[in-house]
Amino acid sequence: MSTAFPDTDEARWHAVRTHSQRAGDSFVYAVTSTGIYCQPTCRARRPRRENVRFFASADEAREAGFRACLRCAPDDAGDRHVGLALEAIEQIEASTPPTLPADQLAARVGTSASTLRRSFLAATGITPRQYADSVRRRRLRARLREGAPVSDAQYRAGYGSGSRLYEAAQGILGTTPARYRDGAPGVVIRYSTAHGPLGPYLAATTEHGICHVALGSDERTLVGELRREFPQAELAEDDALLRQALESTRDLLEHRVPDARLPMDVRATAFQRQVWEYLRAIPAGETRTYGEVAWAIGRPSAARAVARACASNPLALLTPCHRVIAADGGLAGYRWGIGLKGAVLAREHGDEGDPSR
């Protein structure tokens, strides 16, 4: 059975008729005959379809002149979700291991496992288990960077056995735990810099594909950031694969289609990968809001998580997070600076004069 949120008016109307719990607060509906808006789970008398309008949020419904239902209190839904999520995060962060059983975590915050999962998803875009896994990975990296023995780091992070850790290590660390602890010695990362229409840019690659593309004001800063990320790795300049990456980046800056066969080596959560794949499908010269991206990937309550995924994108231009903007049309954040974001968008829109236009 599909778990996608309603993405058409027909699907939203079905959610209203069935008081769908799965729809949660992914949208609100307003009744023109009463001037009231509700959550899809509201148990008030069902309105006539011709009197119903759908909105992505309570804010939009209020701006259209509707007032909140006193029965289902749609304005409070977001606060409830955030409150439960914050309590759960505190419990996860305070626990060793952080991966508490779902019913135990829910009991600690005073709700059911299903309600907590739904609220956590609405507030953060991920599940409590996914958050706990990220805490475990963070703790593992921190202990290894401090020079702790692998066995000590393993148990303090919450990995129950050495075999489980080493099975997952390639995806978590990109290498074995011992090598990560030592700053990835012996791992070869090739990089090169070039100058384009917007200034210097850098591309870096592992043996498997492109792992980093960055924009900046000067080459020294770009290389320094790469060295801080992999302090013990062997950094070497240029190879055939890297020249291909630089050429593809230049193609994007000059409005040409890059080589689609370019291999990439980027580790990501399932959610990040879903967002980044969607971003690569946005045509040049077009933009989407964070909320529109969330709707498009079937996670309408995850706009903030979409923003975080954009902010953590390691491949400037190749994964075009610059094409995602705020709901009010503002540029919002950009890992390489709002000025560069505006300039890239200006070039894609054919306006190379004033990036702020």
Say how many domains are in the chain: 4
Same domain for 192 and 177, yes or no, is no
Q: Which domain holds residue 68?
A: 9-72
Last residue of a domain, one of 199, 227, 253: 253
Structural domain includes residue 222: yes
**Alpha-carbon distance 276 to 259, whole Å?**
17
**The two structure tokens encoding residue 192:** 């090169």
Query: Are 67 and 80 found together in one domain?
Result: no
Length of the chain: 357
Question: Does 99 share its domain with 171?
Answer: yes
CATH classification at residue 314: 1.10.10.10
CATH number, domain at 116?
1.10.10.60
Same domain, 173 and 83: yes
Domain boundary residue, one of 182, 207, 226: 182
| Same domain (yes/no): 64, 79 | no
Q: What is the amino acid identity at position 279? A: L
Query: Do 93 and 171 sit in the same domain of this protein?
Result: yes
Give domain status of residue 264, yes or no.
Answer: no
For the chain, give the mean pLDDT. 75
Q: Is the pLDDT of residue 30 over 80?
A: yes
For 78-92, how does the pLDDT look when each residue is reduced to its tens digit (9 = 90+)? 556 667 777 888 888
Q: Catalytic positions, please?
A: 38, 321
Q: What is residue 244's predicted lDDT score, i.e. its pLDDT?
A: 66
Domain contains 353? no
Q: Is the pLDDT of residue 168 over 50?
A: no
Alpha helices in the chain (DSSP H): 9-17, 58-63, 77-94, 102-108, 113-124, 128-145, 150-157, 162-173, 177-181, 219-229, 240-253, 270-279, 290-296, 303-311, 338-348
Q: Determine, yes or no, domain membership for 218.
A: yes
Residue 178 shares a structural domain with residue 79: yes
Residue with tokens 């990968």: 273
Give the pLDDT of residue 152: 60
Residue-wise pLDDT tens digits, 3-25: 345 668 888 898 888 877 666 66
Q: Please report the pLDDT score of residue 21 as a whole number.
A: 63
Would you say the C-alpha torsion 177, 182, 188, 191 has a positive or negative sign?
A: positive
Same domain, yes or no, for 52 and 91?
no
Least confident of 176-190, 229-243, 294-308: 176-190
Least reliable range by pLDDT among 84-98, 175-189, 216-230, 271-285 = 175-189
Q: What whole-number distance in Å separates Cα of residue 216 and Cα of residue 156? A: 38
Identity of the highest mean pLDDT range in 40-54, 95-109, 206-220, 246-260? 40-54
Does residue 176 surpass a pLDDT of 60? no
* Same-domain check for residues 197 and 126: no
Give me the CATH number covering residue 60.
3.40.10.10
Peptide bond into 258 cis (omega under 30): no
Task: Show which of 200, 221, 253 is a domain's final residue.
Answer: 253
More confident residue, 231 or 138: 231
Asked if residue 169 has pLDDT above 50, the reply is no
pLDDT score at 194: 78
DSSP letters, 251-295, are HHHTT-PPPTT--B-----HHHHHHHHHHTTSPTT--EEHHHHHH
Does residue 356 belong to any structural domain of this protein? no
Same domain, 229 and 282: no
> Looking at the structure, do residues 156 and 195 belong to the same domain, yes or no?
no
Cα-Cα-Cα-Cα torsion 173, 177, 181, 185, nearest 10 degrees, comes to -80
Residue 3 placed within a domain? no
Does the pLDDT value for residue 261 go beyond 90?
no
Over residues 36-43, the mean pLDDT reads 85
- So what's the pLDDT on residue 22? 62
134: CB partners within 8 A, 6+ apart: 126, 269
Residue 255 has a pLDDT of: 53
Are residues 224 and 235 part of one domain?
Answer: yes
For residue 113, what pLDDT is reported? 85
Within-domain flag for 355: no
**pLDDT tier, 128 (very low <50, low <70, confident <90, very high otherwise):** confident
Least confident of 2-6, 51-55, 267-271, 306-310: 2-6
Is 66 inside a domain boundary?
yes
